[in-house]
Every structure is written in C-alpha cells, then in structure tokens.
Amino acid sequence: MKHLSLVAAGAALAMFSMAGTVEAQQTLAQVKQRGLIQCGVSQSLPGFANPDAQGNWAGFDVDMCKAIAAAVFGDVKRVKYVPTTARERFTVLQAGDADLLARNTTWTMSRDTQLGFDFVGINFYDGQGFMVRKDLNVKSAKQLAGAAVCTQTGTTTELNVADFFRTNKMAYKVVAFEKNDEVLAAYDSGRCDVFTTDRSGLAADRTKLKDPNAHIILPDVISKEPLGPLVRHGDNNWGDVIRWAFFAMVNAEELGITQANVDQMANSPNPEIKRLLGKEGDFGKMLGLDNNWAHNIIKMVGNYGESYERNVGPKTPIGLERGVNALWTAGGLQYAPPVR
Amino acid sequence: MAVEVRGGAAPPSVAVWNDPRARAIIFQALALAAVVAFGLYIFNNTYTNLEKRGIASGFAFLGSTAGFGIIMHLIPYAEDSSYGVAMLVGLLNTLAVAAVGIVLATVLGFVVGIARLSRNWLISRIAYVYIESMRNVPLLLQIFFWYQLLGKSVPGPKQSIVFLDIFFLNNRGFYTPAPVFEEGFWEIVVGFVVACIGSFYLSRWSRRRQEATGQQFPVFLTSLGLIVVLPLLVALVAGMPFHWDYPSLQGFNFTGGMVLIPEFVSLTFALVVYTAAYIGEIVRSGIVAVSHGQTEAAYSLGLRPGPTLRLVVIPQAMRIIIPPLTSQFLNLTKNSSLATAIAYPDLVAVFAGTILNQTGQAVECMAITMAIYLTTSLLTSMFMNWFNASVALKER
C-alpha cells in the first residue's frame, strides 16, 4: 500500500497547490451535500475497525463514524470508510480524502500543532505494551535487552520504544513495517522477539496469531496513549460536531440512556435527559444539526459503555476490562461536559 | 546586376516580428516566462494554503531530533541524531542496495545472455525459462516471495546454522566476523592504492608494447597478483594491524561482528534476479546484432572462438548493449524503493515514510525524495553516457 500513501502525498501536493482550496469552515456543509461522511479508519484491527466477510465494518472506532453519521444524517449507513495505514493516515486527512480520522491515533502536541490537526477528545485511554512468546520466559520488559522488536512505522509506538530502550540503556533492533498485518506476520514468523503497540492493539492482534495462547502481553506499560478522533485544524464547527457526538455517548451512559430505552427516556422529566435528547432547547441547531441528533446516535449506535462492551469488552475475544475507560462516576477517566 | 546589389549591400531592414530569428527568441522567452510563472504560482499557492491550515512548512525540521531507531545504518546513527542524518542513512541504504544490485545483476545478466545463445540445448533452455519466468512476475510479488522464503526456511537465533564456528545464519540475518582496525592499518590501504596505480600503468605499458611489437602481456593476472599480494605483504611487515570481532549469541540475539539483515538480502536478491532477466535479453540482442560476417572474418584471420567473442564480437555488441543497460540500472535503483514492503530502511521507507509521518511535512519530504532520486538517476546516466562514448566506434 505504499503506493496509496504516495498517491495520498501526491494528492496533498496537488491539493495544496490548487487555487480554490476548501475554505476552512466548510466540512459540515460539504458532508451534507455529499450525503456521506468519509471516515478514516484502521485497515484491520479486530474490535476497533475490521470489515467482516461481507465487507461490513464493525468496531469501536467504526461506532464513532456511525455515531457522526447518525447525528448528521440519522442514518449509520452513510459512511464511506477510508482504510488507512499508520503512515498515510495524516496525509489522507490533510488532503481532504477523509473528513475525520477515527483510528487509534495518539493525541500528541506536535500532531495537534505542527501537523495542522485538532484532536476533539479521548475516547480510549491506552498505553504501549509488549507481547512476547511464552517460551522466552520473559516476565518484564526490562529483560528485553538485545531483542529484535517489530513495530509499525510512523507511529508514536516507534518513538516510545526507542525512548524506552534508550532510557533503560538496553540495545535493541527495530524492524518497522508499514502495515500492521505485515508487522504481525513478521512477529509470528519469528523475525522478532517482541511485538509492540498500544495494549488494546496487542489484545486485538493476539487474536489473529496462529496460536494466541503461545503469547503473553507483558505487564509493563511504557507510555500514555490517549486515543481519539481528529479533524483538520481550523474547521471548529466540524470539530464541534465530532466532539459532541462523542460526548453525547458518554453523557448517555452516565444518564442511563441505552439503545433499548432511549425512546422511553425521551419522555423522562429529567431536564438533563430532555436537553440531550432534544426535547428541550435547541442544542442540535447550535451544531448545525437536527435537535434529535443525540437521540439518533444512542438509538442507532448506543451509549459509550454499550459500544465498549460490544466491541472490545471482557465478553469479546479482545477481552479488555473498562479500567481507566470507566466513567468518572465509576472511578475512571471518561467525563463529558454537560449539554446546556 | 541585381544579384550583385543584394550580395554587396546590408540586408534590407525588416520589422522585429517579421525577422525569423528575433521571433524565435521572443517566443522561447515567452514560453520560459510562462513556465516560470506557473511554477511560482504553484509554489506560492502551496505555501499560502499550508500556512492557512496551520501546517508547518520549510526545511527546518531536518535539524530536529529523529527519536526513532533504524535497523541498518552505514554511518553512525542513534535515536538522538537529526532527521537530516536519518535521511542520509536511508539514502545510503538505497545506494547500497543499488550498487550491490547493479554489479550482481550485470554479472548474472551477461552469464544468462550468453547462456541463452549457447549451442547446448539444456543450457539455452534453462536460460530461456529463467528469463521468461522472472520478467513476467511482478517484482513486488518476487520481493515478498524471497522475503517469506528466507524468513521461513532459516531457523531462529538459538538454532543458527553455523559455518566454521564464525559464520552464523538465522532469521535475524547472516552474521560474519568484522575487522577492527588498529593503528598502522593505513599502511595496508597505501599498499592497496599503490598496487592499483601500478596496475593502471602496467596495462598502459602493455597496450603500447602490443601496438608497437604485437607481443602480448598477461596484464589481468599480473594486476590481480599485484593488488592481492602487495597489501598482504605490507600487512605482514606491519604485524597485522587489525583483529576480528566475532559474533556471539547473547540473550536473544547475536552481538558483535557484521550482519546482513534478511531484508537487505531478499531485496537485493529479488532485484538482481529480476533485472538480470532483462539484462540477459539485452546482452543476447546485442550479440546477435553483430553481423555474422564479423565472426567469419575473424575466423578467416585465424582467431579462435574465444578471442573472436572477446576481441571482435563483444566490443561491437557493447555499443548496442550500453544504452538499454543504462535504463536497466536506473530501473533497478528506482525499484529499490519497493523496500518499504519488507521493512528495509531505504530512502522512501525512512524519509518519505517515517519522517514524513512524524513531521507531517508531506510536500517537503516528497520533494526532497524526488529530487534525490532524480539526481541519482541523472548521475548514473551521465556516467553511462561517458562510458558509452568511450566504447563508441572511433571513426578514423
């Protein structure tokens, strides 16, 4: 897929050099006119963004795309998924081939400033970890001196692993592939001793290995990886739509609104629920959407907790506990500003 | 009379726009101005649009710290080196693959091309099957194939295949001892250089002698002996001013020595067998294009088949072979950018990949990468054109 990234870079080049480029505040209008949201997702990461045999996309990140489609169009099918590698994702967004990225992207300062993006929230608090074969008998990342490490190029992972081994004065060899599947195949074939990425990614990718039980994820967490959707810098309107689509899902969980009970909850006397579901106030209009925007999201996609449990929760093959991603009321970090 | 008048006097003055020469210059100047204006327009627009979106631009990023590791570097490189150094590492890795690939592909290509013309049925059929199968399968697939084959057919570091207790082959690479130079090593280098210069003058002397007297001198063997023996003698006299660093298994992997990583080996191998198929056909067509009368003339002068091929056919075939050979060299160099597919850190993978992504400066990174490939290709072309001119038919 290196050609795709080259094409994307070429497109970026062509795009930036055109006279009448997209003016900043137009993404929402363009999306409405197009009738589709172009959502940049991972190529294949079970639990987060993965197409099934029929080509239907599913996953935690895909739910983010669907939530926005529900808010804008009231129809979760109006999404064009743009699968991107870690390397080409930013160029794809910069060039306007995607309206947003919802693909396990770490919020960092340079991406927020120098790359010309805005991160709109953190929908998954993660950290980088290591996976090794059980028969190596490694119990801690500190025992990995001299190891060959497989990772994906153009990621924070690639930088963190360099920092980790430097800090601990350990030698290592990094083998960096462009596509996640290539990294995994190289690790599975024994090219590397260690596979490193965000711990959620490790859990997801372990299910794809030949013998998942022959591998363990080491307990060490070597970095902060706040993952969240991002948009081009400068289109604050569009950024607000994404941000509040996400907040609506978190608020819905906090208020006990679920996919199943949202229709009854619409008649609730609770003013917070009434505002969120569009029975009171004009909050949808403030975003440039219908007032039932949040109602649609919850009805069609579910609240934050439902999306989590369905895609990556303990009952799925990925098997990730809520941990720090629990609501603040349950001792976690997920906290959304109020709708008012 | 009229003729005389026209010939003697100055030409009648015409308007500038009716003068063909002036008109030609004006139109060329206008075309050039249009091209330059278009370029400036594109540049300005790009810059303005990048600025408007708050995307950083300019080349200052080349000085910032890279912060990532690269598995193969021919110059000193660490995580705290700059992006500029990382770019050089990638460029050198590209040039390494290209240089090794070009040499091996040329050798293999000549062998295959001549084998294809062999009167031995089996040899010419083998060469034929090789050429047709290699050049009809996409290169990217071949690279994947050799990489997978190499990865799956050799064992892990702990079960390495060992040769002579100092060479180790495993799926992390091929480990060999590395020479460590000590003080006084420069004497050996001097010996080598002296031997090379000596060989050059030897060959010149022998050519002049042959032109004058017709007597031949075994230049090749003598030069080879000189280049091998002289540095060796110097080394013995200087007391072997170097030692070997042997690879050894420590923890997960081998440390010490030199290593050829599997990515380098499979990429180079794939490029060589692919390009050699084309070179083989070029060599064959070059040889076939030399008129059979040349061979017959040489035979009638009493030359045996070996010298006929070497002294009569090949020199004439070279003039036909070199121009298409040049484009194969350029293809090999450019095809090495497929390295990204198997994690070989070449210029495209490191610079137009990792660095582009970490800095987000797509326009600058792609522009630099393209400029570097263009420069490399033009330099290769220049060298090959010079070489072509030197073997061209000298009409006397």
Tell if the CB–CB gap between A16 and B352 is shorter than 8 Å: no
Q: Which ipTM value was assigned to this complex?
A: 0.72
Residue-level pLDDT at A141: 87
Residue-level pLDDT at B300: 93
Does B196 or B49 have the greater pLDDT score? B196
**CB-based contact, A116 to chain B, within 8 Å:** yes
Give me the residues paired with residue B169 across strands.
B161, B174
Tell if the CB–CB gap between B56 and A116 is shorter than 8 Å: yes
Span of A292-301, B39-48, B281-290 with lowest mean pLDDT: B39-48
**CB-based contact, B171 to chain A, within 8 Å:** yes
Tell if the CB–CB gap between B354 and A161 is shorter than 8 Å: no
Tokens in use for A70?
Answer: 């529900």
Tell if the CB–CB gap between B253 and A86 is shorter than 8 Å: no
Residue-level pLDDT at A5: 53
Tell if the CB–CB gap between B56 and A115 is shorter than 8 Å: yes
Which of these, B105, B131, B128, B110, lies nearest to B314 by C-alpha position? Answer: B110
Residue-level pLDDT at A219: 87
Chain B residues closer than 8 Å to A148 by CB? 172, 252-253
**CB-based contact, A53 to chain B, within 8 Å:** no
Contact indicator for A232, A27 with CB cutoff of 8 Å = yes
What is the per-residue burial (b if ≥16 Cβ within 10 Å, else e) of B273-285?
bbbbbbbbbbbbe
In the predicted model, is pLDDT for residue A301 greater than 50?
A: yes
Question: Mean pLDDT across the stretch A196-223?
Answer: 89
Chain A residues closer than 8 Å to B362 by CB? 9, 12-13, 90-91, 94
**CB-based contact, B252 to chain A, within 8 Å:** yes
Element (H, E) at B245: strand B242-245
Chain A residues closer than 8 Å to B45 by CB? 16-19
Give per-residue pLDDT as tens, A136-161.
888 888 888 888 999 988 788 888 99
In the predicted model, is pLDDT for residue B282 greater than 60?
A: yes
Q: For chain B, positions 270-309, list CB contacts with chain A under 8 A.
A: none
Q: Residue B2's pLDDT band (boundaries 50, 70, 90)?
A: very low
Q: For chain A, positions 24-43, list CB contacts with chain B under 8 A.
A: 24
**CB-based contact, B68 to chain A, within 8 Å:** yes
In the predicted model, is pLDDT for residue B182 greater than 80?
A: no
Domain ranges within chain A, ordered by starting residue: 2-125+227-330, 128-223
In the predicted model, is pLDDT for residue B34 greater than 90?
A: yes
**CB-based contact, A254 to chain B, within 8 Å:** no
Rounded to a whole number of angstroms, the distance from the CA of B326 to the nearest CA of chain A is 25
Which of these, B78, B79, B75, lies nearest to B90 by C-alpha position? Answer: B75
Residue type, B227: I
Residue-level pLDDT at A241: 94
Any idea what DSSP says for residue B66? -
Residue-level pLDDT at B1: 45
CA dist., res. B176 & res. B260, Å (int): 8
Question: Mean pLDDT across the stretch B113-122?
Answer: 90
Tell if the CB–CB gap between B353 and A19 is shorter than 8 Å: no
CB count, 10 Å around CB of B56? 17
Contact indicator for B247, B256 with CB cutoff of 8 Å = yes
Residue-level pLDDT at B267: 93
- Establish whether domains A2-125+227-330 and A128-223 are of one fold: yes
Domain ranges within chain B, ordered by starting residue: 83-158+262-391
**Angle B293-B294-B299 from CA coordinates, rounded to 5°:** 95
Question: Mean pLDDT across the stretch B300-327?
Answer: 88
Q: Residue A12's pLDDT band (boundaries 50, 70, 90)?
A: low
**CB-based contact, B354 to chain A, within 8 Å:** yes
CA dist., res. B127 & res. B138, Å (int): 19
Chain A residues closer than 8 Å to B69 by CB? 158, 161-162, 165, 172-174
In the predicted model, is pLDDT for residue A21 greater than 50?
A: no
Residue-level pLDDT at A20: 42
Q: How is B324-381 classified by DSSP, letter by letter?
A: HHHHHHHHHHHHGGGGGGGT---HHHIIIIIIHHHH--HHHHHHHHHHHHHHHHHHHH
Q: Give the per-residue SS3 of A101-167.
A: ECCCCECCHHHHCCCCEEECCCCEEECEEEEEEHHHCCCCHHHCCCEEEEEECCCHHHHHHHHHHHH
Q: What is the pTM of this model?
A: 0.77
Q: How many CB pairs under 8 A join A and B?
A: 165
Chain A residues closer than 8 Å to B358 by CB? 110, 154, 159
Q: Which of A115, A167, A196 to mutate to test the interface with B (most CBs of B within 10 A)?
A: A115
Q: How many CA atoms lie within 13 A of A299 on its CB side?
A: 18
Residue-level pLDDT at A17: 56
Tell if the CB–CB gap between B45 and A161 is shorter than 8 Å: no
Rounded to a whole number of angstroms, the distance from the CA of A126 to the nearest CA of chain B is 20
Superfamily of domain B83-158+262-391: MetI-like (1.10.3720.10)
Share of chain B above pLDDT 90, in %: 32
Tell if the CB–CB gap between A18 and B352 is shorter than 8 Å: no
Q: Choose among A86, A146, A233: nearest Cβ to B253.
A: A146
Residue-level pLDDT at B246: 82
Q: For chain B, positions 318-347, list CB contacts with chain A under 8 A.
A: 337-338, 340-343, 345
In the predicted model, is pLDDT for residue B204 greater than 60?
A: yes
In the predicted model, is pLDDT for residue B67 greater than 60?
A: yes
Question: Mean pLDDT across the stretch B353-382?
Answer: 88
Residue-level pLDDT at B78: 86
Q: Which of B357, B359, B361, B365 to mutate to test the interface with A (most CBs of A within 10 A)?
A: B357
Give per-residue pLDDT as tens, B158-171.
777 888 778 888 88
Contact indicator for B86, B66 with CB cutoff of 8 Å = yes
In the predicted model, is pLDDT for residue B142 greater than 60?
A: yes
Closest-CA residue of chain B to A95: B362
Give per-residue pLDDT as tens, A259-284.
999 999 988 899 999 999 998 888 99
Residue-level pLDDT at A2: 44
CATH of domain A2-125+227-330: 3.40.190.10
CB count, 10 Å around CB of B77? 18
Closest-CA residue of chain A to B153: A189
Q: For chain B, positions 135-154, list CB contacts with chain A under 8 A.
A: 148, 151-152
Give me the residues paired with residue A50 across strands.
A58
Q: Choose among B52, B251, B358: nearest Cβ to A145.
A: B251
Q: For chain B, positions 2-21, list CB contacts with chain A under 8 A.
A: none
Share of chain A above pLDDT 90, in %: 47
Share of chain A above pLDDT 70, in %: 93
Superfamily of domain A128-223: Periplasmic binding protein-like II (3.40.190.10)
Q: Which of B44, B358, B368 to mutate to test the interface with A (most CBs of A within 10 A)?
A: B358
